[in-house]
Structure 1
């Protein structure tokens, strides 16, 4: 019976297999993984450095961009180093505490990331639909408050998942066919009643992400309506250009996030290695692309980044 009564205080471990069926290719797979991770860290730290150094960028839009950069760094760092450890050294063991901690951080940061995207949509809505009051509505203090609300929401919503799982018994077979401790992957290792975790995880996936997506969609429907009323073609194009970066970031994030959540629950017909690779890409591709997208689409940021890179 001892094998079935494992709690976070026990010295027991889970085994993360990496990418099932492709163990022989782990070293080769690690090359694009590590390259994407390096680009992600480099791009996001450049954004944080440039915005921090340039007083002219101390505006709500760029403060939110810094929050996005921090969540991108956090989400990729919560997953990629352990995955590379598996690929390079076959060190697949992770303690129950470590697994639940990783699960908490990756889901909390993803929830925070969603809140930042909502705040950025609100920022664009005010900038285009009510530009004369932009400076009074979106002050620096209110941006900080939005960030704190998003952080508190993420912690409160995600914390029940590891707390409940930590009290459950785990079966003798504790092998997780993944590169990281995803919530549903850990749930499947439990021998207890997992009804709460299944339902609560589904609520988080659809209600939190769904509501955030609805708010973003509403914001952009109002933005589009306001933009289409602009008589000047030049002003119309400028207004659309201010939103394209954010829309692109939302699309890349939502596509990978929804696919990862749904395939764990309903993707039994998908090959395990395909699912693991695509699910892992959620923590690689969007964090890598986001600073590039904003660097290309935002002229002011692009010029400031060029100012520092040209000195090197």
Structure 2
């Protein structure tokens, strides 16, 4: 049963039904295992790299700590969405209050924005490490790193809060059914019965401005980094610097291409069904969370070596137990 506000002159739904994939309701139970398996793989892969960074004191350096923070955000972002999806798939019924819906919306977009802001901090860290290596320990201190992470949190909040705040002021009287697996902004706005032009304008403006600004800052940083790397006389040091930058650039490409592709598909592919849009949204959200630990685990030499040692110990323990 739908819940309505008490004011008869301002009727509005205060709870909603998340249907996940509207066209796949009869076969929704078949989606449980694939998404559960994907969720477990994402959590395990990210947690494994985080454990490696935390357990090895030699990795307690700004670059590796930022990698661990990025992967922790991946786990949080996945956990914000996938368990709700699995509950909806298994029961076919998932009613959520407006307050809970807005909180989930804030968490999803905050974590995506925070992810991008961490990449900016990582770019600054690499810029100092490669362009000014002799002063790196003096410049990149724990205090500076904590301050930059604090700025990243504040900036992410500033990006998301206006969008969620405006959404909280909207009346929702068209329906109480959200044709999505999560409280995605535009999926919720479709249920509004008033003028939401300001919501669309503010959301689009914030997204475009911050994406363009991020790309300009990242482009400027890594162009200087790559230029400085090619000027390094030692071939081994040059190769290490370029390999590190390559890992970061690959992660940046995965994160930004996923978010930009999601926006483009949502606005261009009008003929596609809602299920297609939802599947693509899940793909774009979960892909970076799956790929990031693989990139850093495979392409970062220090992490790869410690992971190898960890797997060898596990294999020896299994072998000894069998014996």
Same fold (TM over 0.5): yes
Look up the match of 1:210. Answer: 212
Question: Partner residue of 1:194?
Answer: 196
Q: Which region of structure 1 is more displaced relative to structure 2, 204-213 or 115-124?
A: 204-213
Q: Are the aligned partners of 1:18 and 1:177 in contact in 2 as well (CA < 8 Å)?
A: yes
C-alpha distance in 1 between matches for 2:44 and 2:194: 43
In 1, distance between residues paired with 2:266 and 2:27?
A: 23
Q: CA RMSD in A?
A: 1.9
Q: Is the radius of gyration larger for structure 1 or structure 2?
A: 2
Pair 1:4–1:269, CA change in 2 (3 A): farther
CA distance in 2, matches of 1:63, 1:234: 24
The alignment partner of 1:14 has SS state of strand
Q: Residue 101 of structure 1 aligns with which residue?
A: 103
The Cα offsets for residues 2-31 of structure 1, whole Å up to 9 and x where unpaired, read as 496227xxxx32122212322233222232
Cα displacement (A) at 1:63: 1.3
Question: Which residue of the partner structure matches residue 251 of structure 1?
Answer: 253
Structure 2 gaps of 5+ residues are 1-6, 315-323
Higher relative contact order (CA 8 A, sep 6+): 1
SS at match of 2:313: coil
Q: Distance in 2 between matches of 1:266 and 1:200?
A: 20
In 2, the alpha carbon distance for the partners of 1:256 and 1:30 equals 23
Q: Secondary structure at the match of 2:181?
A: coil
TM-score between both structures, scaled by the size of structure 1: 0.92
Stretches of structure 1 that go unaligned for 5 or more consecutive residues are none
Report deviation, 1:227: 2.5
What is the 5 A alignment of 1:144-293?
144-293=146-295
Question: Separation in 1 of the partners of 2:8 and 2:311?
Answer: 59
Q: Secondary structure at the match of 1:18?
A: coil
1:63 matched residue in structure 2: 65
The yes-or-no answer on 1:36 pairing with 2:38 is: yes
Asked whether the equivalents of residues 174 and 193 of structure 2 are also in contact (C-alpha less than 8 Å), the reply is no
Q: Following the alignment from structure 1 to structure 2, what is the Cα–Cα distance between the partners of residues 175 and 55? A: 50
Aligned-partner Cα distance in 1 for 2:133–2:295: 24
CA distance in 2 between partners of 1:200 and 1:83 (Å): 28
In 2, the alpha carbon distance for the partners of 1:105 and 1:196 equals: 22
Q: Deviation digits for residues 253-305 of structure 1, max 9, x if unmatched? A: 11111122333344323332221111111222211111111010111112222
The normalised TM-score by structure 2 is: 0.89
The reply on whether 1:81 has 2:80 as its aligned counterpart is: no
Residues of 2 paired with 1:96 and 1:18: CA distance? 17
Aligned partner of 2:52 in structure 1 is: 50
